[in-house]
Amino acid sequence: MAIPKPYVAVVTGASSGIGEATARRLAHEPGAKLVLVARRQERLDALAREIGGATVVAVDLTDPGAPAEVLAAVASAHGELHLLVNNAGASWRGGFAETGWENVERHMKVNFEAPVRLTEALLPLLRATAAKGAPAAIVNVSSTSARVGRPRAGAYSASKFALAGWTDSLTAEESAHGVHVGLVLPGFVATEGFPATELRRHPVLRLIVSKPDKVAEAIVDCGLRGKAERYVPRYYWLAAAARILAPRLVRRATSSGTFTTATAKDAPH
């Protein structure tokens, strides 16, 4: 895929973790013009300086006016858009009996509603870019939890399942308009929000924990190279396949006391 110059990309959750790594990776592309979106202004400003300049939008994406604010910033600074990376997300662990609908609802607002609403606002720009013959893409960062649920992470899984399902439909709808839609499904990734502390201390389980840079490269694969879907690490697709081929076995494994204890304080992206 030929990358035009300039190449305008919006990255949400850019103040740390996967979003920051993605912004740094995209900044290496010749002619890249980035729009960094997150809540923490000072971190966005620091990152923008480090990568040689970027438009910064400090906003909480769950606020009703956030999509319009991001759209206004992109339109004012660049007037076009080639790539939207819906990465921002959060997790609060807890069993359903204890945390109830309230926990499900707050996950849905951050991990599903926010990217859907932002996509709605920016989709006309992406379609206009594609109509000119330039590449246009959306990358939604879901999770392997969108394929396999675990104890005390049901609310998180529900939001990521919703994002993955919506992505499949959006892919089919937007292909006719020239907008590619990719899906990235990280497993356990050590970030500020998801430290994976107990896993990284385990002599064997630490091997299943990946790094933000790996996810950033998967996002580039889906956003710039036209890949449909990427697991990070790649072998995590085996868990998704097992969920379809051997659901009883997977349920038994995810319900085991050993696995639950080893990951009780951690959540995958």
The set of long-range contacts for 247-252, using a CB threshold of 8 Å and a minimum separation of 24, is 250/148
Do 251 and 242 meet the contact criterion of CB atoms below 8 Å apart? no
C-alpha dist (Å) from residue 97 to 102, 146, 162, 175: 11, 21, 21, 41
CA neighbor of 107 nearest in space, from 143, 138, 83: 143
Do 31 and 4 meet the contact criterion of CB atoms below 8 Å apart? yes
Which residues form the catalytic set?
A: 156
Please name the residue that has the structure tokens 């960094």: 36
CA neighbor of 223 nearest in space, from 125, 133, 126: 126
Please name the residue that has the structure tokens 């895929």: 1
Residue 88 neighbours by CB under 8 Å, 6+ apart: 12, 13, 19, 37, 38, 61, 110, 114, 115
Position 186, amino acid: P
Position 187, amino acid: G
